Amino acid sequence: MSAARELFDADYAPPAKQADIYSAVRTSRPAVIVLIDGEFHQSLSVWHKEILYALAHGVRVIGASSMGALRAAELHTLGMIGAGRIFEDYRDGVINADDEVALTYGPAGLGYPQVTIPMVNLRATLDAAERKGDITSEQKLVLRERLHGIHFSERTRSRLHQEVESLGYETETFNRVFNGNFIDQKRLDAVEALQVASEMVRSIREAPVGFEFHKTHSMNVVDQQDRITNDGFRRREVAKFISLAHENFEPTLANALNRSLALLLGKMMAIEPSEDEIVDEECNFRERFSIIEEVKFEGWLSENDIGAKDFNRLMRENAVCRKLYDWQASIAGACEHTQPTLDYITLENRYIEFKKKMSSNRDFRTLTPRNSQTDIDDLSLNELLEIHTRFYPRLTFRPLAQWMKDVAFQGEDDLRGELIKLVSGDQAREKVIASVLALRSNEQVKRES
């Protein structure tokens, strides 16, 4: 790795898997991506579409040596840049099979040590031996065919020795060909790719895009499932963790699915919110979670692994849902939201809880002296709302008139009347509690004296 950094000072990553390139573009938007090694069997391979996504977003992508050479040969006409002999051989049809570059390697903790020898290195080595006169062209073809017949996972040095000896060659010949002439073509191509990247960064210009990128369903699946977060987790891993660690996941999942169903209905009804409605949703959301300031907002986006476009989509979807709520309320008419609210609270098994709280509030209200009740009656709506926040979370971060409409209050007088009942009961309870505590404190003082 240190030798690579001397050629090109960059962020280096393990062999690439599906969604790695897409995630890199989404999270850090690099100027250049160099694809060298990639996983074949352990995980899904780097996908062509995510490379096209990178190119469409102005990122130059260079491929060489292994998976990079394969993808560059397939996409060089669309702007991906190939480097090295292996890329050229794939591009020109000299080699075709994926297993030409495949090999097995050791664990990450040991630096991914190479266990088997890839066929492309053996091809280059046999060519070098022929040029030096150590073997004839006929011998090269026979050796190449025999070695290519070994599965890539079994192409170890000892297995090569066995195969060469089985063809009648002495150990001396094996050492002369495979030691004296050994060419690590994958390494040479990787070095060339890093040199190309280094030169490119010095004179970087926006990469030309020779195609129009379309985000297909499969690409959406990669985005939603396999995109890597800032902490190195895949999104599906995060979702599975939440399902196991959330204190009450089933209602959360139900709400999430209900939101998806609402959005599907909105699409079927061709509901399109206005820009003002989307902006209102954004303002309400940012105020609710105290991320009004741009610095805090940018930090929130990063911590939640989304970008500005993702956030705009969420706010647009919220606006669609809001319009659906308004439509549903217009259908319900005089029934308002009473039945849906009570049904949902019943299914949450909290109906009895709120009934008890309501009865308790009424009981405390009867203890309130009439003159005190008169004082509360004289309070303005804003004053009542301010008192309300002493006992309960803030009602809404949206305009009050819109909130009253959504929850079916018939104007400010209706809301004010219900607040007076609630606040007077809460204040009475507060006074009773204060009186009990004072009495206990006096009794304690008497006992101590």
At residue 398, the pLDDT reads 77
Position 232 in a domain: no
70: tokens are 């394969």
Provide the terminal-to-terminal Cα distance of the chain, rounded to the nearest Å: 79
Position 130 in a domain: yes
Position 234 in a domain: no
92: tokens are 């020109």
Residues forming a β-bridge with 63: 35, 82
SS in 3 state form for the chain? Answer: CHHHHHHCCCCCCCCECCCHHHHHHHHCCCCEEEECCECCCCCCCCCHHHHHHHHHCCCEEEEECCHHHHHHHHHHHHCCEEECHHHHHHHHCCCCCHHHCCCCECCHHHCCCECCCCHHHHHHHHHHHHHHCCCCHHHHHHHHHHHHCCCHHHCCHHHHHHHHHHCCCCHHHHHHHHCCCCCCHHHHHHHHHHHHHHHHHHCCCCCCCCCCCCCCHHHHHHHHHHCECCCCCEHHHHHHHHHHHCCCHHHHHHHHHHHHHHHHHHHHCCCCCCHHHHHHHHHHHHHHCCCCCHHHHHHHHHHCCCCHHHHHHHHHHHHHHHHHHHHHHHHHHHHCCHHHHHHHHHHCCCHHHHHHHHHHHHHHHHCCCHHHHHHHHCCCHHHHHHHHHHHCCCCCCCCHHHHHHHCCCCCHHHHHHHHHHHHHHHHHHHHHHHHHHHHHHHHHHHHHC
> Both 66 and 88 in a single domain?
yes
**Distance of alpha carbon 321 from alpha carbon 339, whole angstroms:** 19
- Over residues 188-207, the pLDDT tens digits come to 999 999 999 988 887 765 55
123-132, 273-282, 289-298, 391-400: the lowest-pLDDT one: 391-400
**In which domain, by residue range, is 407 found?**
350-448
> Both 363 and 444 in a single domain?
yes
Residue 373 pLDDT > 60 = no
What average pLDDT does this structure show over 50-78?
94
> Both 91 and 206 in a single domain?
yes
**Distance of alpha carbon 27 from alpha carbon 265, whole angstroms:** 32
What average pLDDT does this structure show over 174-190?
90
**Distance of alpha carbon 351 from alpha carbon 179, whole angstroms:** 81
> Both 74 and 163 in a single domain?
no
**Distance of alpha carbon 210 from alpha carbon 58, whole angstroms:** 11
Q: Which residues are within 8 A (CB) of 158 and not within 5 positions of it... i.e. 6 or more apart?
A: none
What average pLDDT does this structure show over 270-293?
94
Q: Which amino acid is at 337?
A: H
Q: Are 266 and 258 in contact (CB under 8 A)?
A: no
> Both 85 and 151 in a single domain?
no
Position 131 in a domain: yes
Q: Which amino acid is at 368?
A: T
Q: Are 68 and 97 in contact (CB under 8 A)?
A: no
> Both 17 and 98 in a single domain?
yes
At residue 199, the pLDDT reads 87
- Could you tell me which residue, 391 or 108, shows the higher pLDDT? 391
Position 98 in a domain: yes
Position 241 in a domain: no
Of 144, 185, 187, which Cα lies nearest the Cα of 163? 144
**Distance of alpha carbon 177 from alpha carbon 3, whole angstroms:** 27
Residue 370 pLDDT > 60 = no
> Both 41 and 175 in a single domain?
no
**Distance of alpha carbon 316 from alpha carbon 120, whole angstroms:** 52
Position 87 in a domain: yes
- φ/ψ of 61, rounded to 5, equals -120, 125
- φ/ψ of 380, rounded to 5, equals -75, 170
Mean of per-residue pLDDT scores for the chain: 87
> Both 47 and 196 in a single domain?
yes
**Distance of alpha carbon 106 from alpha carbon 115, whole angstroms:** 7
210-219, 240-249, 323-332, 336-345: the lowest-pLDDT one: 210-219
56-60, 266-270, 315-319, 367-371: the lowest-pLDDT one: 367-371
Number of separate domains in the chain? 4
Residue 123 pLDDT > 60 = yes
- Over residues 204-245, the pLDDT tens digits come to 655 566 677 777 777 787 788 888 888 888 888 888 888 898
> Both 98 and 8 in a single domain?
yes
What average pLDDT does this structure show over 162-174?
87
Position 323 in a domain: yes
**Distance of alpha carbon 115 from alpha carbon 122, whole angstroms:** 14
Q: Among 335, 360, 384, give the residue marking a domain's end.
A: 335
> Both 365 and 411 in a single domain?
yes
Q: Which amino acid is at 356?
A: K
**Distance of alpha carbon 285 from alpha carbon 404, whole angstroms:** 18
> Both 76 and 190 in a single domain?
yes
**Distance of alpha carbon 114 from alpha carbon 106, whole angstroms:** 6
> Both 100 and 165 in a single domain?
no
- The pLDDT-based confidence of 40 (bands split at 50, 70, 90) is confident
CA 56 to chain centre: 20
At residue 315, the pLDDT reads 96
229: tokens are 């977060």
